[in-house]
Chains A and B, each alone.
Chain A
Amino acid sequence: MQLIEQFPVIIVGISMFTAYTMLLAGFLNKRLPFIIAMVMNSFFLILSLFILNHVLTVGPIRYWQGGWRPPWGIEYVVDAMNAYLLIIVISLIILGLIYSKENVKHEIEERKHTTFYTLVQLMAAGLYGITITGDLFNMFIWLEIASLTAYALIAVAGGRALRPAFNYVIMGSIGACFYIFGVCWLYSVTGTLNMADMRLLLPLLYDNKVVQMGFAMIVVGVMIKAYIFPLHLWQPDVYAYAPSTISSMMASVHVKVMFYILLRMFFSVFTINFITHYIGLDMLICWFAAIAILAGSFWAIKQRNLRRMLAYSSVSQMGYILLGVGLSPLSPWGLIGAVAHILNHAIGKGCLFMTAGAILQQEGLRNIKDLGGLGKKMPYASAAFTIAALSMIGIPGTAGFASKVFLILASLDAAQYPFVVILLLSGLLNLVYFWRVIDQMYFVKTEEPKEAGVGREKGKALPLSMIVPILILASLCIIMGIIWFTDIPLPLINHILSNLRMGVTV
């Protein structure tokens, strides 16, 4: 066994270990947890790059924990899809950590810093675990780790964040219950928890009501966690009142990992054949997604609070990914659109939430109508916000445009023309609610003299450690907008398509 095949388990295992070390180190020095987290996650990022390289050149990595063969032991599988997602997750966790360095001082009491970083690292471990594992029950464990820590991290700021956190605990637990019920039902008829094994055993049982029910429960459970439209009610308040770092991490990577579970369920555990022929779910999913896209946008237009608006925008954007998933049985471009949008939304929305947090910290502003003249006061943050917002709208030259093009192509390819209209309409709705903010930042004349805002600490510019991640993400929005239109991602995309057994390549 090559060394590189151990990397996935190293990432997950050491992540957990690091979290506990950080808790202990926090007693020695308050700065130590942050430093450890930075160092270790950067190390993981390097490992994950090696993994991606290995996956693309050699093939998927399969690691049997403790040497037990798959149907009995836990197997970790990394193919192109996970490797890609792993890099996204780790990089955004790192950027979130850099951002949090100054931001936590402002939003969280000093004594909670050690626990905060420990929980962030644990959440990261959970997310890495979900991404890497090839075992349904093991996935549940990591899912719970990622969710439980998220509940705590949302509540850590106290005050107004407590009620949304509690809502999320209830909804998230219901989702987790659905998931584990579904897994149990599948286990009861197949006798296995390994994804690859289950894929081999299930086709004979596709007519079985237990299998169909189990599938439905898993999907609904995950959909709660991924706040697909009617199940999104817990989410806007959580995103509005959680610490800025956590909002940004949740919106950019936490929810993407939930989508990854959905992708695995659809294409690795079950097959396209099952989804289209036995339960006929693909079109239902597309219409769910379409409703989510439009409803999320409409609600976002109604919002006055900047972060709530971003939250509803996320509800809408999750619809894009779901639409891509729903269209993928009919067209490879559906999956490509979903895969691309996972990254594009992660960088865009991550940047937007970070900027919203920076505005809150510097100027103490939450409402859109108060943002007048911000372009002068916070030039970098406003510029980054504008770029990321343009990407969300899907203006050509930004990352969002690429996902829009892929999804439109998928809808045309699948001969599902209504979705083309919905996607284009959604772009316009996004324009309506994002442009209000841009108008306020740059173009509305402000009456007040050039005096600092209410909550502003006099003479203090936004710290560099907050500007840098924001600017990195904003520039990524443009860089990815170009890269998706080159053939550089082609090998990755083809690997993902063949690993998820779509049977076609581009």
Chain B
Amino acid sequence: MELMTPLFVILCPAIAAALILLSRKQPNIREAWTIAASVIMFLLVLSMAPEIIKGETIRYILFQSMIKNIYIGFNVDAFGEIFAITASSLWVLVSIYSIGYMRALKEHAQTRYFFCFCFALMGALGVALSANLVTFFIFFELITVSTYALVIHEQTPEALRAGHKYFAYLMPAGAILLFGIMTTYYLTGTTDFTPGGIKALVSVSPLIITVLFFAFLLGFIKAAWMPFHSWLPTAMIAPSPVSALLHAVAVVKAGVFGIVRIVGYVIGLDLMHQLGLWLILAGIAGFTMLVGSFFAITQDNLKRRLAYSTISQLSYIILGAALLNKDSIQGAMIHIPFHGYMKITLFLCAGAILVATKKTNISEMAGIGRRMPVTMLAFSITAIGMVGLPPVAGFISKLYLCFGALELGSPYAMIFLSVILISSLLDVVYFFPIIHSAFFGKLEAGGVEERSEAPLLVLLPLAITATFSVVFFFFPNTFYIMDLVKTAAGNLFGGV
């Protein structure tokens, strides 16, 4: 059905950005715009969900372009809606957190920070709602450009180097992605996302489709699959809210979102299966899951450890998409919001620790659980969820993935099942020591053992996301997520 809601969703952050720039002299009004935009955007996104669950899509074509069959427009389907809900709901919380965090640390250039944050979110939502690859690409690049300013926020030479590395990875990837998109158009005459894949690709030679697949895969190194992952840990030099929302949710999820779109909606499940491409993708994902976890163990900087954990966890989603069956893809889709909520909590905790104690390294955090019980409780809950244990949301998505792997039959079922289990085990290895030393570790000499939590504006959002991580376990249908996942899987496989 035709509705203008997607357009309003996209305009929300853009208008907010303009207003932020105008009221740069009054910090309180400036922050009010961010909050207002995020809340309105979330409500708008949520208002689309009831229609979408019925199996409808919400279309809005902005422009018909000169190029035949290419238009700039939105087509919100269940899968896009999942990502949109994830990103927009978390933006509300991170906006609040940002205000507390930035003010507590007395950061400079806060106007630029909030301005670019709006555009990054606009990019993420645009990616979620777009109807075809061209629209997708426009917003995808918007994310890259606008997050640059956030990555180098510190403006130290080190931060600038990190920013350059960020671009050195993501910009060539964007160029390759554009190549893939244009080639798709050239081959098929359309770039629309079609559930089950673009039909005309069936008659194209397998070699070209393989090339196309690799072009898309390289184009989506925002998904941080190995060996093209090292921009993500480097980008952790950004302020914590940025790492939390962008480098755990918006940016990297846009990458995996793209991969799922390619697998399910462009190349199509049948072709992926026929050409054996799924095995390549699953191999990459499995490799990243294991190696990412190993890397995480070796990191002492908390945010870098979380970054490697993100790299590993993102590949769960890629693996789910690669296994090509209903359960695995449901697992992949549901892991997008669930991992988003859990990982953002972890990053927000890291930020809260920085605000309260100025500590960034895990080795310095012994006994910190006694100083910051709420923060570390939230951290522990979501870390358990990361491992995939009940009663936290991560359990559900891992369960689906395991079912998906089992459906493959031998020998792949055993391989991927063991990869998932080993990776979960490694999650325990790198999360458990943090929790253990936080609550039971000895305070370093001269440390004070009194309650000193971060400011309320910082504490509240992370408590909420941690709560939601548990709520999702008991009520996976919060924010319609479970229904949306079922609808999306129904679109791909037919039937509900």
Contacts and interface: CB of A to CB of B under 8 A. Distances in A.
B175 A396 contact: no
A475 to B, nearest CB: 13
B145 interface: yes
Interface stretch (A164-172, A178-186, A421-429): A421-429
Interface string B170-185: 0110011011001101
Interface in A464-506: 482, 484-487, 489-490, 493, 506
B65 A485 contact: yes
A506 B68 contact: yes
Given A485-B72, A487-B64, A420 B179 contact: yes
B203 interface: no
Given A396-B138, A489-B66, A506-B66, A425 B156 contact: no
B171 A431 contact: yes
Interface string B455-495: 00000000000000000000000000000000000000000
B175 A487 contact: no
A205 B112 CA distance: 65
Given A420-B182, A428-B172, A397 B142 contact: yes
Given A409-B67, A412-B182, A486-B64, A443 B149 contact: yes
Contact of B186 (A336, A412, A443, A487): A412
Interface in A383-427: 390, 395-397, 401, 404-405, 408-409, 412-413, 420-421, 424-425, 427
Contacts of B139: 396
B179 A390 contact: no
Nearest to B182: A408
A187 interface: no
Interface residues of B, number: 32
A460 to B, nearest CB: 22
Nearest to A340: B66
B163 A443 contact: yes
A444 B160 contact: yes
B182 A445 contact: no
Contact of B66 (A396, A420, A427, A487): A487
B152 interface: yes
A439 interface: yes
A397 B137 CA distance: 10
Contact of A431 (B142, B155, B167): B167
Given A443-B152, A445-B155, A409 B65 contact: no
Contacts of A424: 175-176, 178-179
Contacts of A493: 66
B210 to A, nearest CB: 16
Interface in A338-397: 390, 395-397
A484 B141 contact: no
B63 A395 contact: no
Contacts of A401: 138
Interface in B62-92: 63-68, 72
Contacts of A442: 112, 149
B186 A413 contact: yes
Given A412-B186, A424-B175, A428-B175, A395 B65 contact: no
A288 interface: no
Contacts of B176: 424
Given A405-B182, A428-B175, A443-B155, A482 B63 contact: yes
B164 to A, nearest CB: 8
Contacts of A412: 182-183, 186
B434 to A, nearest CB: 33
Contacts of A408: 178-179, 182
B191 to A, nearest CB: 11
A435 interface: yes
A487 B172 contact: no
Contacts of A484: 65-66
A336 B160 CA distance: 39
Given A427-B175, A431-B171, A409 B182 contact: yes
A266 B261 CA distance: 44
A274 B175 CA distance: 35
Contact of A485 (B63, B156, B167): B63
B6 to A, nearest CB: 17
Contacts of B64: 486-487
A484 B65 CA distance: 7
- Give the most central of A396, A397, A431, A442: most B CB within 10 Å: A396
A427 B163 CA distance: 18
Contacts of A486: 63-66, 72
Given A395-B145, A424-B178, A435 B167 contact: yes
Nearest to A376: B109
Contacts of B137: 396
A493 B175 CA distance: 27
Contacts of B156: 445
A490 B66 contact: yes
A116 B68 CA distance: 48
A486 B66 CA distance: 6
- Give the most central of B67, B137, B152, B155: most A CB within 10 Å: B67
Contacts of B142: 396-397
A390 B145 contact: yes
A145 to B, nearest CB: 36
A409 to B, nearest CB: 6
25 contacts: A336-B66, A397-B138, A397-B141, A401-B138, A404-B178, A408-B179, A409-B185, A413-B186, A424-B176, A424-B178, A424-B179, A428-B175, A435-B167, A439-B160, A442-B112, A442-B149, A444-B155, A484-B66, A485-B63, A486-B65, A486-B66, A487-B63, A487-B64, A489-B66, A506-B67
Interface of B: 63-68, 72, 112, 137-142, 145, 149, 152, 155-156, 160, 163, 167, 171-172, 175-176, 178-179, 182-183, 185-186
Interface of A: 336, 390, 395-397, 401, 404-405, 408-409, 412-413, 420-421, 424-425, 427-428, 431, 435, 439, 442-445, 482, 484-487, 489-490, 493, 506
What are the nearest 3 A-B pairs in CB distance? A396-B138, A486-B63, A424-B175
Given A445-B156, A506-B66, 15 more contacts: A390-B145, A396-B137, A396-B139, A397-B138, A401-B138, A408-B178, A409-B185, A413-B186, A420-B179, A424-B179, A425-B175, A439-B160, A443-B163, A484-B66, A486-B66
